[in-house]
């Protein structure tokens, strides 16, 4: 019994330095700044909405550039959701709006908004939507980083007031935000 305890102690001590090295490597990776991220949006079941969005760090925040196709004309809720999980048919595996600071749902230019509240995209008669603006809240680093989170396009307009979703309805497309090649 005593020798077993000794063996366990030896094993534990010999593993400790390895854990230390792994920890340092991990920290280093997290601190390396990501300048640009990308999400490719695929249709949920029964939808034909698809497209892409890039997020690039600029002087006053993160520049969001989106091109989405297959929509009905008009405004569609467009958010970053908590999880980068598009595995479910309806897009619900992406969870609720990304909200690391416990705020209310709101407009992108509001002080009280979920970090993931990037508002609406507006499709033309052909069903194509283009968006290009600088968001002051989004981040590609630190606790509020959107890397690994989900992007959702909705069936209806985000009214920017209804809690906690903006009443934007069904999820038509989903994508996961990853590190982009510059």
Residues ≥6 apart with Cβ < 8 Å to 52: 38, 39, 40, 41, 66, 67, 68, 175
Q: Please tell me the count of residues contacting Zn ion according to CB under 5 A.
A: 4
Tokens 């690994």 belong to residue: 148
Draw the binding track, 110-129, toward Zn ion (x: CB under 5 A; -: no contact).
Answer: ----x--x------------
Q: Per-residue contact track with Cu ion, 70 to 109, x per CB under 5 A?
A: ---------x------------------------------
Concerning whether 105 is annotated as a catalytic residue, the answer is yes
Catalytic residue among 50, 76, 79, 149: 79
With contact defined as beta carbons under 8 Å apart, do 37 and 180 qualify?
yes
**Which residue in the shown chain puts its C-beta closest to Zn ion?**
97
Residue linked to tokens 């989106």: 66
DSSP 111-159: SS--TTEEEEEEE-TTS-EEEEEEESS-BSSSTTB-TT-EEEEESS---
Q: How far is the CB of 61 from Cu ion (least distance, A)?
A: 20
C-beta of 51: minimal distance to Cu ion in Å? Answer: 15
The catalytic site residues sit at 79, 81, 97, 105, 114, 117, 154, 171
For Cu ion, the binding residues (CB under 5 A) are 79, 152
For Zn ion, the binding residues (CB under 5 A) are 97, 105, 114, 117
């Amino acid at each position: 019994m005593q020798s077993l305890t000794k063996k366990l102690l030896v094993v534990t001590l010999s593993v400790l330095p390895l854990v230390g090295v792994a920890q340092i490597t991990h920290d280093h990776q997290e601190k390396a700044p990501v300048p640009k991220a990308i999400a490719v949006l695929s249709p949920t079941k029964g939808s034909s909405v698809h497209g892409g969005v890039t997020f690039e760090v600029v002087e006053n925040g993160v520049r969001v550039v989106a091109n989405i196709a297959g929509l009905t004309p008009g405004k569609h809720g467009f958010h970053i959701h908590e999880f980068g999980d598009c595995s479910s048919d309806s897009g619900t595996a992406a969870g609720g709006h990304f909200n690391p600071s416990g705020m209310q749902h709101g407009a992108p230019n509001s002080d009280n908004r979920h970090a993931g509240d990037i508002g609406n995209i507006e499709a033309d008669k052909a069903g194509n939507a283009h968006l290009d603006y600088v968001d002051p809240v989004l981040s590609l680093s630190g606790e509020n980083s959107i890397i690994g989170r989900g992007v959702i396009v909705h069936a209806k307009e985000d009214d920017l007031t209804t809690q906690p979703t903006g009443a934007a309805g069904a999820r038509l497309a989903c994508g996961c935000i990853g590190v982009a090649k510059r």
